[in-house]
Copies of this chain bind each other. A is one copy, B any other.
Amino acid sequence: MTLSRDIRIFMELDQTDRRILGQMQRDCDISLESLGEIVGLSRNACWRRIKLLSEAGIIKGKVALLNADALGLALTVFIQVRTDQHDPDWSAKFARATRTLPQIQGVYRMSGDLDYLIRAQVADMKDYDHLYQKLTSSVSLADVSASFVMEEIKDTTALPL
């Protein structure tokens, strides 16, 4: 019974759903009343749609976005990682290590010549070195190189609708 493995249910979204999602992914700290006015619906219709969208897993959750600079995390760094070990044991260890480190926001296994791309947020170079030391001491990595963000031109969690 592996037939259903790759089947994915896509909920039908109309223009109003999209408008609701669009607003909420920009700012969800808004009353149902105001949201209703924006999308042209009663507060209640909005409420029921949001409930459905949440239950369908389209809305993953609501979070507060924090200001990295104000928290003293001025440096964003992308770390490129190459490995010579491709066994599942190594992968699990690498995943666990990166998921545990709170400085790391994203870890992606990539196509192409580099194996993994890591996005992290640190205070400064010294702090980056800490992260580097922790990372390389918990898993063996063949090649690690870092690129630092000089300027953040765009940074959003909003997806296209």
Which positions in A face B, CB cutoff 8 Å? 8, 10-11, 13, 21, 24-29, 56-73, 76, 78, 94-95, 98-99, 102-112, 114, 116-117, 121, 147-161
Question: Once bound together, how far apart are the Cα atoms of A59 and B115, in whole Å?
Answer: 34
Given A65-B25, A70-B56: A150 touches B106 (CB 8 Å cut-off): no
Copies in the complex: 2
**Interface majority SS on A: helix, strand, loop or mixed?**
mixed
Task: State A25–B11 Cα separation when bound (angstroms).
Answer: 27
CB distance from A116 to the nearest CB of B (A): 8
**Complex formed: what's the CA distance from A11 to B106 in Å?**
27
Q: By the criterion CB–CB under 8 Å, are A68 and B105 in contact?
A: no
Query: Given the interface contacts A57-B67, A65-B61, A70-B10, does A160 sit within 8 Å of B103 by beta carbon?
Result: yes
